A and B are shown apart, each in its own frame.
Chain A
Amino acid sequence: MKISSPMEIWKYLPGTNCGKCGEKTCLAFASLLKERKKKLEDCPPLFEPEYADKGKNLAELLAPEVREVEIGVGARAMKIGGEDVMYRHELTFFNRTALTYDVWDTMNSEDLRERIERITKWQKFYVGTFLNVDAIAVRSVSDDARTFAECVKAISAQTDFPLVLCSFNANVIEEGLKEVSDRNPLIYAANENNWKDFLDIAKRYEVPVTLFSPDLDMLNRLALTFSSAGVEDLVLDPGTYPTGKGLEETFSRFVRIRRAGIEEGNKGIAYPLMSVPLTAWIDGDGDKAEDALSSSYWEGIIADLFIIKYADIMILHSIEPHLLIPERTLVANLYTDPRRPVSVEPGLREIGNPTADESPLFVTTNFALTYYTVESDLNSNKIDSYLMVVDTEGIGVESAVAGGQLNAESFKDTLESFDVESKVKHKTMVIPGLAARLSGETEDVTGWTVFVGPRDSGRIPGWMESNWPPKNAH
């Protein structure tokens, strides 16, 4: 956005401090707009005739540096782009990289159905929520319009996931598009040869379109041509070369395009970027690589690089869990708002319906990630228990043991501060396996019985079977 202080925004607001946005003053609202924590729509007066001009000007000033493009419709629709910064600590990254997995039009219907099922049903629990992947890319391997259209039709009957229709053949794209013209799919891709046809299609069907060229002059020309023709929902694919010099140059293209868009305000190229880590699977002959595991790792490597710098959408091939899990987790990590706190409140939590005499007391740190992991493991496995959260200054167990934030004294302080003894009558605590070395000293200092739990809270259910209730219960 082109704004550097809340005061600049404030000039465009009604200045009545009416409170309809939920803030006490227009200035407070202005600073939240600056941080992108509130939206213009939260200020209803701005949309009244009296302020309409100001509202319109402000909308332009607040527009993100990188254009935001929507793909799909309804609840499943996703936004990509819309970024304002080069480094997440400068503000935050906003619209997470859309992970898109491929299917192709030469698959038999049974394989297709099963693959779609696996992609769309995949989920992984992470910090309080389930992660999913974002979209499906349909590749026309047949290069036959009818075959492609039938494949797209079958997919759209099975799922409402956003689609990316992939072919450099405009006829093929158009036939496919006819099947899902009301689903706002992304079409892929216009290049220097076929751009006229793609431009026509994008205009007639009003769908977002990808432009492909590893030659950045050409990519820039394509983008300017499309935008000057009124087609502005663009995604740019500067080509993903998976190895060697080509990879080094690919990395350079992604960074330089984003730099031009964000740091230099070059609107002509400030569109969402697409990377295609799937290219890691293609060798010189176009056959499947011999060693599927190594190729899958290489695809993960290319995904890692461009999730970080600066792909807004990517097309991937492997749907093996050993890739889906880390890829989606990395996206979650990078797109987490760094402004959120690292730590949770220390204290004593109750999981389920614990009883003072029989339920175990587990101990963990107040590092948010550790805490949520332990808490979800206990909840998911329905273990009625107490969870004592020690203030380790937001540091995880292993590091806090090494750094001295987690020690016998901090256990003692926490027991006393939160009067744990009045709630947990058996005076037995289960410390993390990674803090095993503290067990003896903690017994001496606190007078409590200390059990060493598993090194990972995911193993608490198994640990409970052999260790709880204690054989020599007090």
Chain B
Amino acid sequence: MPKEVTIADIMRVLEEYDVVELDDVRIEGDVEIELSTGVAVPPSLINALQSSIGVQVSPEVTAGERIENLVEAKFEVAKAEWNGQIEEVTIGASSSDGGTREKTVTIGGEKSLPFYNFDYQMPHPPVITVDCFDISIPLAKAVRGHYQDVMEDPGEWAKKNVHEFGADMVTIHLISTDPLIKDTPAREAAKTVEEVLQAVKVPIVIGGSGNPDKDPEVLEAAAEAAEGERCLIASANLNMDYERIAKAAQDYGHVILSWTQLDINAQKTLNRYLFKLGVPRGDIVIDPTTAALGYGLDYAFTNIERMRISALRGDADLAFPISCGITNAWGAREAWMKYSPIREDSDWGPAVNRGPIYEIMTGLTLGIAGGDMFMMMHPEAASAVKRVTQMLFGSEETADKEIMIKDWVKWKCK
């Protein structure tokens, strides 16, 4: 083995003999020269080295070896292979299937994590269903402005969601049926559902008030009124008579939303109960609960991500499309409160700017975790989430604008 010679060694030798130039010197074999920092290299030596071994050393460089070529390499990474596949669920029925919807919506079918098209192309982009209510409700100022004119009329409200805000679907929340709100009878709530079905031709979600005692009756009547339309009935929950709701959904041809609260085991349990009741797998969507940015979003994110990964690994109990109630984002005080209640906080800026981005970030975050359907409220938030998820899904073949990111450093803002 040849001894390793450092440049310092060479220098010492050269200096010792007062050499200025090397003639007829050939060095054979692999040459590795390391110039350590802080060693001043005299120009004479650089010249000597250049002439003797053909190493290009720029004279400006006072220290540091000059590598001439990049290491050759190719970036490679394997595709992720999963065993499981998410159930594909269609919501809405057209006339050929016994309904009156002009279009239907299909979600699920994934064989990879959301937007991991490099593993397996996502089969359907996430869809957005925009909320409307059967009663005028208190809304954050930033939202209220968009719905002020239709709050007394669920049909008009639904129309606005579709025609003005481009909603893929509409959710009608029958919250006035809650005995503690207005105790609207189930019969009347069913009429509201009919009204909405008349008003719009997109698939709809029918939501109860969340009252576990009243919801079974209300959702049963609503399911009957919407027979054959293949609505999403929201929702069955472990703490209520989910059997009655599941049965109604089946009898009248609907899809059921299986809702649990941030608990992966409860979700498996409820889904198994639904299987036992004979609900076909293609008629189930799950809602593992949405928490707002800053108010439990990390739990919701990880809960959904874990469910989706378990499903892809083959856990059939969890292999269902996921619906997320993104409107919950407005529960975050930062989304609507005028000033910070904490005195030491920096200025929060106008609330009207904060609300939509809270809804957007809550939605997109859960979309990346595994959400297939977003229930949303603010029109601009809904369209922004739609736009970015479409892009990630791969709907666009080219960049919609050629953006020169190579020059971003020099970007001139006003």
Contact = CB atoms under 8 A, between A and B. Distances in A.
Interface in B180-203: 180-181
B61 A200 contact: yes
A333 interface: yes
B67 A199 contact: yes
**What bracket does the count of chain B residues touching chain A fall in?**
35 or more
Given A124-B345, A322-B354, A329 B401 contact: no
A381 B341 contact: yes
A444 interface: no
B261 A260 contact: no
A166 B409 contact: yes
29 contacts: A124-B340, A141-B409, A203-B37, A216-B75, A217-B74, A221-B70, A222-B70, A228-B71, A229-B67, A242-B405, A243-B396, A243-B400, A244-B398, A256-B75, A260-B76, A276-B408, A279-B408, A288-B413, A297-B357, A300-B361, A301-B360, A305-B368, A325-B354, A395-B261, A398-B328, A399-B261, A399-B289, A437-B181, A458-B337
A431 to B, nearest CB: 13
Interface string B371-410: 0000000001000100010011110111111111111111
A321 B348 contact: yes
B55 interface: no
Contacts of A195: 70
Contact of A225 (B67, B342, B414): B67
Interface in A143-200: 143, 166-168, 188, 191-192, 195-196, 199-200
A196 B406 CA distance: 18
Interface stretch (B92-100, B147-155, B270-278, B298-306): B298-306
Contact of B72 (A221, A247, A293): A221
Interface string A269-298: 100000010110111101110000110111
A259 B398 contact: no
Given A244-B399, A437-B180, A323 B73 contact: no
A255 B344 contact: no
A433 to B, nearest CB: 10
Nearest to B369: A308
B74 A220 contact: yes
Interface string A299-323: 0110011001100000001001111
Contacts of A248: 115, 117, 391-394, 396
Contacts, number: 289
Nearest to A219: B75
Contacts of A458: 333, 337, 340-341
Nearest to B291: A396
A324 B349 CA distance: 10
B327 to A, nearest CB: 12
Given A196-B67, A204-B63, A330-B365, A404 B405 contact: no
B280 interface: no
B411 A125 contact: no
Contacts of B394: 245, 248
Contacts of B298: 88, 333-334, 336, 338
A55 interface: no
Contacts of A300: 357, 360-361
